[in-house]
Amino acid sequence: MVIQNIKLALGSMKGGKMRTVLSLLGIIIGVASVVTILTLGNSATGSITDSITSSGYDLIYLSPAFGSKTRETFDESFAERLRKNVDGIGLVMPTVSGNARVRNGSIVTSTSIMGVNSDYAANMDYKESYGSWFGVEDNIFKRQVVVLGSDIAEKLFPGGNAVGNYITIFRDQGKKYLVVAVMEAKDASLGASFNSTVYIPYNTYTQRFQRVSGVGTYIIKVAENHDPKVVNADATKYLDDLVGTDNYMIISSASLAEMVSSVTGTLSIFLAAIGGISLLVGGIGIMNIMLVSVAERTKEIGIRKALGASPRVIRGQFLTEAITLTSFGGVVGIVIGIGLSKIVANIAGWGFAVSVNACLLSVGFSMAIGIFFGLYPAAKAAKMDPIDSLNYE
């Protein structure tokens, strides 16, 4: 019986192809937009959180505020104290940064300059394309060496061959610095825009560029088997007691990634709700077309009743037709939605992740719409008087 009903439904859909498509437009658009929005929401969130966590999901950035009080607290021994008081603190890398004008020959540009330790690159998953990062000794002896990010290297040395040559840093009375490495390009991530930065040894920086000492930002790696969010929370508590909330800023890549996905998640839900409304409007279109179909087929209903079709059978026939119709619309909508999001994801350069949930949700929802909006027309057909409908012209 069900198979017969589906056959009948497909038959009547084929009978009026144009009408079928038009009546399904609302459902198709609704499903396509829900699938597109949720899929793109997934992809966009994925790509943003990827870039936030490109140097690791386990990083916490701690920046002390300026001032003499904080300067006393955040000194060279701070890392040790932090590790003693907060569980799960791994490596602590002090960094300092500022801006400076740099020159190679006639090329002069302004860029960010950062003082870091010799293990910075390895810990940030940052790789050399030429030369190698400065060593421990360079830091201890405060040597005048630099490592260039890919963009700034390209700018200062358009012909390449930066390694082994010197650049001038104006802030250091025009002293010359030996380029020891040029790095591979790396997506900007939280607290670091790698490619346009000039790196120099931490001690060189504090001696030559700072009038008063003090760490700019501690980059903290969370120890293995510890939840970055928990460590972040514990550290926050410790620091609040130590210096007060206003005297530092802390942010972890994990919590930022979470924040971003919650924002895009909310946005997705909102947009999907709009898609849902269009599905609902599509459902009313279905009800309309089903009512027309029932009215047009009054005679057929009369004949079927005369042949012994019970009200339940007639109701089943039209309900199946409505569900078949909307499910078909749902599948078409999903195909369009996936195609559309693939195109947009390609253009935007996001990873493409089909939202399976969105697909299931959409098909389920369109079937539910078929049932809900098909019920009334089907009941109307079932209730028709056999003689009146037989005599209908």
Site for another protein in 307-336 (CB under 8 A): 307-313
Residue 306, SS3 per DSSP: helix
Give the whole-angstrom CA distance, residue 99 versus residue 155.
16
Of positions 25, 242, 303, 367, contacts another protein by CB under 8 A:
303
Smallest gap, in angstroms, from Cβ of residue 287 to another protein? 23
| Residue in 309, 378, 369 with CA at minimum distance from that of residue 28 | 369
Q: Residues in contact with another protein, total (CB under 8 A)?
A: 22
**What are the φ/ψ torsions at residue 184 (nearest 5 degrees)?**
-70, 155
**Of 385, 326, 339, which Cα lies nearest the Cα of 36?**
339
Select 80 or 388, whichever has its Cβ closest to another protein.
388
59-64 vs 248-252, strand pairing mode:
antiparallel
- At 128 the three-state DSSP class reads strand
Single residue of 58, 138, 172, 300 touching another protein by CB under 8 A: 300
- Range in contact with another protein (rule: CB under 8 A) among 11-19, 27-35, 210-218, 278-286: 11-19
- Give 188 or 303: the residue with its C-beta nearer to another protein: 303
Q: How far is the CB of 372 from another protein (least distance, A)?
A: 24
| Shortest separation between residue 333's beta carbon and another protein, angstroms | 28
Nearer to another protein among residue 138 and residue 300 (C-beta): 300
Q: Work out how close the CB of 389 gets to another protein at its nearest, in angstroms, rounded to a whole number.
A: 10
Please state, in angstroms and rounded to a whole number, the distance separating the CA atoms of residues 162 and 151.
12
Tell me the C-alpha distance between 138 and 204, whole Å.
9
Considering only 10-18, 63-71, 115-123, 190-198, which stretch makes contact with another protein by CB under 8 A? 10-18
Contacts 24+ apart (CB under 8 A), 295-299: 297/381, 298/384, 298/389, 298/392, 299/389, 299/390, 299/392, 299/393
**Binding residues for another protein restricted to 13-32, rule: CB under 8 A:** 15
Angle at which helices 17-52 and 253-296 cross, to 10°: 180
Does position 223 bind another protein by CB under 8 A? no
Specify the DSSP element, H or E, that contains 130.
strand 128-131
Task: Give the residue among 300, 333, 283, 271 at the shortest CA–CA distance from 29.
Answer: 333
* Residue closer to another protein (CB basis): 216 or 386: 386
390 binds another protein (CB under 8 A): yes
Chain positions 37 to 76 lying near another protein, rule: CB under 8 A, are none
Task: Please say which residue, 186 or 304, places its beta carbon nearer to another protein.
Answer: 304
CB 168 within 8 A of CB 202: no
For another protein, the binding residue among 1, 2, 212, 347 (CB under 8 A) is: 1
Among 305, 319, 321, 366, binds another protein (CB under 8 A): 305
Task: Kindly tell me which of 376 and 392 has the beta carbon lying closer to another protein.
Answer: 392
d(CA 373, CA 292): 13
- In the list 26, 55, 89, 304, the residue contacting another protein (rule: CB under 8 A) is 304
Where do runs of H (alpha helix) occur along the chain? 2-15, 17-52, 68-73, 78-85, 120-123, 136-140, 150-156, 202-209, 228-243, 253-296, 298-306, 311-348, 356-383, 386-390
Task: Please list, residue by residue across 215-225, b when 16 or more beta carbons sit within 10 angstroms of its beta carbon and e when fewer do.
Answer: bbbbbbbbeee
* Least CB distance to another protein at residue 314 (A): 9
Query: Applying CB under 8 A, which part among 119-127, 194-202, 265-273, 305-313 lies near another protein?
Result: 305-313
Output the smallest distance, CB 388 to another protein, in A. Answer: 10
Residue 296 interacts with another protein (CB under 8 A): yes or no: no
| Stretch of residues binding another protein (CB under 8 A), selected from 50-58, 344-352, 356-364, 384-392 | 384-392
**What is the sign of the dihedral through the CA atoms of 355, 266, 41 and 257?**
negative
Q: Give the per-residue contact string, 117-156, with another protein (x = CB under 8 A; - = no).
A: ----------------------------------------
Which residues in this chain contact another protein in the complex, by CB under 8 A? 1, 4, 11-12, 15, 299-300, 302-313, 386-387, 390
